[in-house]
Structure 1
Amino acid sequence: MDLKSKKILIAGAGISGIGAAALLGKAGIPAAIYDGNEALDQAAVAAKLPEGMEVSFELGEFKEELADKYDMLILSPGISIHQPVAQAFYVKNKPVWGEIELASHFAKGKIAAITGTNGKTTTTALVGSILREYYQSVFVVGNIGIPFTSVALDTTEDSAIAAEISSFQLETTIDFQPEVSAVLNVTPDHLDRHGTMEVYADTKFSISKKQNKDQVIVLNYDDPITRAMAEKATAHPVMFSRLEELAEGIILRDDTFIIKENGKEMPVCTTSEIKLLGSHNHENILAAIGITYYMGVPVEKIRDAVMKFTAVEHRIEYVDTVDGVDYYNDSKGTNPDAAIKGISAMTKPTILLGGGYDKKSTYDEWIDAFHGKVRYLIVMGATAQAIADTAKKHGFHNVIFAETFEEAMDIAREKARPGDAVLLSPACASWGMFKNYEVRGKVFKEIVRKFKG
């Protein structure tokens, strides 16, 4: 598509919208930004764009006439495709792209695209680290915090790109075609937006909808939803498994990560040689090995990178030890399944901080995963009562309510004994209390440092 002939409207004036506007501006394509906040500080937004770049604004309540005025819409992932601004363009059969689709229109090189309910950030960061062992030009982008749009014009035919892609971003991909895609797992999350698990799973699987038989999709054999995706994939499916001895794929046998291909076995490294905690990270490593092997990275380079890699921020991140108590920041545990992995990684009696925004999740399996490890559960936010009720139903009664995050931290410090761990792994999004999980995690770490003095 020739974008230079189009009048383009960008919905959303946040980091994604600004990234899209900047990319189009650098490519010599003017665009307007729409935002529902009619009091938006236009000068502040414009100041975040490249110097000298002009941008126009459409502000306030959305009017359908805008879909007549503009030829296509670039939709920020925070805005659902079911919102009026998107529906107005769909009804008129005008293109609705997201930031991933837009960036891939300009990007060059080979793309490894990673999605899944949990483990995306760690796996994407690890994939980036492995790619850097072999490729000279590597970009790690997407939902990991660096908009793909911000670097698309910097890529070359020799570049390798690791992209973490959320279900929100996948709603608006059309011709996006990665060299290697991966769906790590699918468990209930974001059902307030996607409605049903079937829609949510299909959205995840759409990461590979434009791939061909010469390309690869890496799938988790141990997850029944992702395992079933192999049957309908247009790309060549490669399975990984932590639990099963596959005839082909990436496996963990005893303590050794192994690539099995065409009757050959290629050991990579052992669990004793890595620095990541928890069996969930073994799955992330298996996935990353598969992704990068099929991106052309030699096994010895994969081994070197996996052995050096340490945990990403906000994912079971050790913060400090204060008065004999270990503090772990797992703020990225924004749904029950992710939080189960957080508590499973703990090896000490644990004071657990949970609760936050209500994404219509259920908490039974999370509570069941406590397995006697959790001494106290401190709950806060919109989901506090629902979590407390679930805990009581499952026979766990050491639940304490906190009105604020700071109060929750004070209670945790008071209840923790030397030899315990305090774990922030909320099983909920941060919205309503914090802008995002990163801010929540940073506040947790700041308070821990104050405890230490």
Structure 2
Amino acid sequence: MIKKEDRVSVLGLGKSGVAAAKLLAKMGAKVEVFEQKKAPSDSPEAIELQNLGIPVHFGAQVDQIVHEQSDWLVKNPGVPYHNPAIQRAVERSIPVITEVELASSVLDVPIIGITGSNGKTTTTTIVGEMLDKSGVPALVAGNIGRALSDAVEDTAGKKWIVTELSSFQLKGTKTFHPQIAALLNVVAAHLDYHQSLEDYVESKAKLFRNLDKNDIAVFNFDNDLCRKVADLQEGTIYWFSIKEEVDRGLFVRDGWMIARMNGEEQAIMPLSEIALPGDKNLENALAAAAISLAAGANKEAIRSVLQSFTGVEHRLEYVSTKNNVRYYNDSKATNAGAAITALTAFSEPLIWIGGGLDRGVDFQELVPFLREHVKVAIVYGETASILADRANDAGISKIVHATDVEDAVRHASKIATDGDIVVLSPACASWDQYPSFEVRGSIFKQAVHTL
């Protein structure tokens, strides 16, 4: 792996790039940070790194980033592999990695790695809380908000580091080796980045590449692509399922969550006590329980957390009730599968707000769920016309075009009647109008609060 005096180019001045550059400097590498976008010279991230003696270059060209002396390229996960600098590095046989690979090479704490198309943040957060409540010291990091490289120095006394991992991060790994790895689900997503479903699945599967029989692999028994990945890895499998009883893992029987571990069964809790609504959140709960039991959590802590956990920000987050209409922020739903989770979480007919960046997806998989759960569709952004077509295919009689999220909230408030539920679950990335799903969700919440 990276050694002292190695020359390392860090591509991208995002959160992961800053964390990687700092860690590399502490490791004694000769590190420079390159940002291909032009930015103001008073960028706080750039100033912070330059004060540490780390050069930062804006508007960087390919020949600056990848040169004859380059030993490594650490890239921001969001930089696609068809980027010319990445291609140049590959042509010159310069290793291209992401910051989670870098961090894992120096971590001396066992890793729990959690990935999936949907539910990663919720499940990772729940696992962290279950371990904490069980008296098992753990640190939560990764795609969930704190870069893994930034967390390296805070692992003293921790028994686990619980890491949310995206396909973007995992694609740039080589030796990454968690002791517990979980794949929650796989649906077609991020195909503009990965170029094919095969590459997307292969990137997710990298989480399991270095597992052996002493490690634990947690998979969704109800997802066909998860089962295919499970067949190709060496870890000891713990399944979770809401449809069938499994030989080892977590499942549902007669309205109870049941754990079957080491040939023994124990009833964890009634499903009616789980605070988060919907089948997808039940899957998240089962996955979190399986991971946490494997990591040393106890039944009482698992039950307590699932009774009280009401969600993470921007993920089916209750916002407010106005005129007896409930509003939910699910801005983190950046693909159709995530939106389906929201649509199926409620028994009441919904006023659904969807739209955002057009990635060339046709959203056909939404149609049966729109038909069953949505009475009014409010669409906006680049995908407005596509989503309107799908709502029309679903037989929804009222379809409204809005200019943006705030306008959608205004329309929803005028349409909604007593007892209705309004949910922002865009099924799209935010980047056509908003810099992140967090900003989009915050604007939605503010619009609701000011009704």
Normalised to the residue count of structure 2, the TM-score between the two structures is 0.95
Deviation at 1:33, TM superposition (A): 0.6
Give the match for residue 228 of structure 1: 228
Deviation at 1:43, TM superposition (A): 5.0
1:162-173 paired onto structure 2 within 5 Å: 162-173=162-173
Aligned partners of 2:364 and 2:390 also within 8 Å = yes
Aligned partners of 1:179 and 1:216 also within 8 Å = yes
Give the match for residue 193 of structure 2: 193
1:426-437 paired onto structure 2 within 5 Å: 426-437=426-437
1:289-329 Cα shifts (integer Å, max 9, x gaps): 11111112233333333333221111111111001110001
- d(CA) in 2 for partners of 1:355, 1:414: 19
Deviation at 1:169, TM superposition (A): 0.5
1:392-420 Cα shifts (integer Å, max 9, x gaps): 23333321111222211111111111211
1:168-209 Cα shifts (integer Å, max 9, x gaps): 001101100001001111011111111222221111111110
Structure 2: where are the runs of 5+ without partners? none
Deviation at 1:157, TM superposition (A): 6.5
1:312-391 paired onto structure 2 within 5 Å: 312-391=312-391
SS at match of 2:313: coil
- d(CA) in 1 for partners of 2:228, 2:43: 50
Give the match for residue 442 of structure 2: 442
SS at match of 1:268: strand
Whether 2:294 is the aligned partner of 1:294: answer: yes
Q: Which runs of at least 4 in structure 1 moved beyond 6 Å after TM superposition?
A: none
- CA 1:256–1:67: 2 relative to 1, 3 Å: farther
Give the match for residue 140 of structure 1: 140
Whether 2:92 is the aligned partner of 1:92: answer: yes
- d(CA) in 1 for partners of 2:139, 2:11: 25
SS at match of 2:33: strand
Give the match for residue 127 of structure 1: 127
- d(CA) in 1 for partners of 2:303, 2:189: 33
- CA 1:43–1:412: 2 relative to 1, 3 Å: closer
- CA 1:136–1:259: 2 relative to 1, 3 Å: closer
1:62-101 paired onto structure 2 within 5 Å: 62-64=61-63, 66-101=66-101
- d(CA) in 2 for partners of 1:398, 1:3: 61
- d(CA) in 2 for partners of 1:32, 1:131: 38
- CA 1:67–1:212: 2 relative to 1, 3 Å: farther
Deviation at 1:61, TM superposition (A): 4.7
- CA 1:386–1:19: 2 relative to 1, 3 Å: same
- d(CA) in 1 for partners of 2:268, 2:144: 26
Normalised to the residue count of structure 1, the TM-score between the two structures is 0.95
Letter in 2 for 1:285: A
1:39-78 paired onto structure 2 within 5 Å: 39-41=39-41, 43-49=43-49, 52-64=51-63, 66-78=66-78
- d(CA) in 2 for partners of 1:21, 1:188: 32
SS at match of 1:67: coil
Structure 1 window deviating more from structure 2 (128-137 vs 246-255): it is: 128-137
Letter in 2 for 1:108: D
Deviation at 1:136, TM superposition (A): 5.2
1:123-177 Cα shifts (integer Å, max 9, x gaps): 0000111111235532111111111111112213643111110000011011000
- CA 1:137–1:248: 2 relative to 1, 3 Å: closer
- d(CA) in 2 for partners of 1:404, 1:297: 44
Structure 1 window deviating more from structure 2 (253-262 vs 216-225): it is: 253-262
Aligned partners of 1:325 and 1:419 also within 8 Å = yes
- d(CA) in 2 for partners of 1:393, 1:309: 36
Letter in 1 for 2:243: L
- d(CA) in 1 for partners of 2:279, 2:16: 33
Deviation at 1:435, TM superposition (A): 0.9
Give the match for residue 280 of structure 1: 280
Letter in 2 for 1:287: A
Whether 2:254 is the aligned partner of 1:254: answer: yes
Deviation at 1:102, TM superposition (A): 1.1
CA RMSD in angstroms, aligned pairs only: 1.8
- d(CA) in 1 for partners of 2:271, 2:181: 25
Letter in 2 for 1:296: G
Deviation at 1:69, TM superposition (A): 3.2
- d(CA) in 2 for partners of 1:433, 1:39: 20
- CA 1:149–1:288: 2 relative to 1, 3 Å: same
- d(CA) in 2 for partners of 1:162, 1:347: 33
- d(CA) in 2 for partners of 1:90, 1:208: 23
Aligned partners of 1:142 and 1:163 also within 8 Å = yes
Structure 1: where are the runs of 5+ without partners? none
Tell me the matched-pair count: 450
Aligned-pair identity (%): 37
Deviation at 1:39, TM superposition (A): 4.1
Aligned partners of 1:129 and 1:309 also within 8 Å = no
Aligned partners of 1:380 and 1:402 also within 8 Å = yes
